[in-house]
Amino acid sequence: MAILSNLSFLSAFLALACFAAADFNRDAEITWGDGRGKILDGGRGLSLSLDQYSGSGFQSRNEHLFGRFDMQLKLVPGNSAGTVTTFFLSSQGAGHDEIDFEFLGNSSGNPYTVHTNVYSQGKGDKEQQFHLWFDPTAAFHTYSIVWNPNRIIFLVDNSPIRVFNNHAGAGVAFPATQAMRVYCSLWNADDWATQGGRVKTDWTKAPFTAYYRNFKIDSCAAGTSCASQELDAKARNRLRWVQQKHMVYNYCADSNRFPQGTSVECKRSRF
């Protein structure tokens, strides 16, 4: 399919056509924040706010097992230190699965950190972090998760930044059996989010607000074409460029956290 070719005019056209049908009134519900989450423009957009009393969040109305999940975000501008804006998938209960995009704020003039992680059966510790090649607060950009039985692909503006392949056969847990909802939130995490918690939230800048729009889910099931989505040559080259130029943390290379070595997926990665 053309949707994973980051330079494909056809894929961009199709994505925009699909985005036009997004409706937060239909597809999502605000779940917490006591009025700090607001649906805008008749369902075409949504804002989340954070102040010293509470953050806010919403979730998709339905659960899905595999699919492509797109969201456009415009992040908190200026001094966003201590704040975390999220877009992630998660199941519920003990031994949950989760696929994370978390955007860690920073002091003015410093870049956001895009934090990614994959949990399976309640265990994560698979973090990779990136700095973006644009200002994510100046305009909306599209963040996507492709999740199928073979792999998970994280994309930014249709460019892949990370691939997590299914190595369940080699003993690496992979989220493949639990349906997940989409969750998004804006909350305070100044005990760890910015420079390991050294920079705290400046509440004189509150309320902090992030904007979401063009929520799109293409759900699929095992055995459909979704299961065979691959990266083409251009997308693989783009992935290597992002990881070489913009990755700032990779759990696979962290010998302090993992003195016995990391899991087999690090050794078997094709990227």
Residue in 102, 127, 230, 265 annotated catalytic? 102
Q: The sheet that has 141-147: what strands, in order across it?
A: 37-40, 45-50, 208-219, 67-74, 141-147, 151-156, 159-165
Please classify residue 134 by burial: count the beta carbons closer than 10 Å to its beta carbon, then call 0-12 exposed, 13-18 middle and 19+ buried.
exposed
102 is catalytic: yes
How many CB atoms are closer than 10 A to CB 107?
A: 14
Annotated catalytic residue 127: no
- 206 CB-contact burial (10 Å; exposed 0-12 / middle 13-18 / buried 19+): middle
Are 58 and 48 contacting, i.e. CB atoms less than 8 angstroms apart?
A: yes
Measured distance CA(56)–CA(187) in Å, rounded: 7
Q: Do 199 and 191 meet the contact criterion of CB atoms below 8 Å apart?
A: no
Q: Which of 98, 127, 230, 265 is catalytic?
A: 98
Q: What is residue 141's three-state secondary structure? A: strand
Give the whole-angstrom CA distance, residue 4 versus residue 75: 24
Give CA separation, 44 vs 31, 212, 219, 228, in Å: 18, 9, 20, 31
Active site amino acids: 98, 102
